Structure 1
Amino acid sequence: MKVRMAIPLASMVVVLAGCSFGNRHSPLECMERAMYFESNQSSRDGMIAVGSVVMNRVVSDKYPNSVCGVVGQKNQFARGIMTRRMDGKSLPKVREAAKSVLRGERHPLIGNAMFFHSASYRASYDNMHYVLVTGGNAFYERRHRDLVTQPYPPQSIEGITRR
């Protein structure tokens, strides 16, 4: 004779609160999502730059120490980055770039930059040292204002960034 126990709905919610019902992603999937939603319409150069920023954050003690922890951090990347659908048509080029960054490729001009915003955005802060504009984004390091030597994004001409 089997005995079934009724589990109150409230108890199930508490037990399952830590589960993500299929929303768990591998580091590759998280990197793809960052590249896709932050630079999908850009070149490979732009995707590698976004991936380099993600990896700079992973190794920093100021951010989570995993790709998914960094990419999923609230208010840091595109809204809905971990839940929105990605178009399968552009996924092969995104996947190749994501794998390359996870294997160690970094954009040569990113350096220690851990931040970026749309290249058209003009911030009023005086602690942003810009290192690169590519893929529609301007990448920068935060520095003490006295150490900022490039307060405006460098000019990008035909895919070549001038510093």
Structure 2
Amino acid sequence: MWRELSPTAGRKMSCGLWNDTLAVAEDYLSTCCCGPNPAPPPPSETAAAMRRLAQDMETQHQTRFHSLAQNFLKRCGPDICSSLRKVMDEMAGDGHFNWGRVVSLFAFTGVLIRQLQEQRTSRPGLDPGQELEPKLISCRLLAETIADYLVKHKKGWLLENEG
């Protein structure tokens, strides 16, 4: 039996979906940022699956992801999150959105955050406290950008595909 959801129920579902998406994104990106330290256990089965899939995809296409991330960083300007949203628009723009593209997005963003960390640590001569970007980019900020985009633009698809 079909019944229409109240606006409150829809907001709660969106909030839950956003929180779940954020948790998976932040978990994956945090594993990319932890360096040689072992990552904590994933918070959910979904997060564990994303770790495996994105790491496998990154390994399989390592050269391509690194090249894309380097080009992205050269061209993105000071607002990395805005540029990442444009990348997501392009990935979803042809109407053929699927889990492979979601995993690719996570893998790409993981490579991106590692390259940002490398830039910060490999620039000798910077004064203490001097940042390389106007806004320090964190795993949380990039995870929020991914969650915001997916829930705002792909909510229906995520719900249909048990995201």
Q: TM-score scaled to structure 2, two decimals? A: 0.31
Q: Choose between structure 1 and 2: higher strand proportion.
A: 1
Q: Choose between structure 1 and 2: higher helix proportion.
A: 2
Q: TM-score scaled to structure 1, two decimals? A: 0.31
Question: Of the two, which has the highest radius of gyration?
Answer: 1
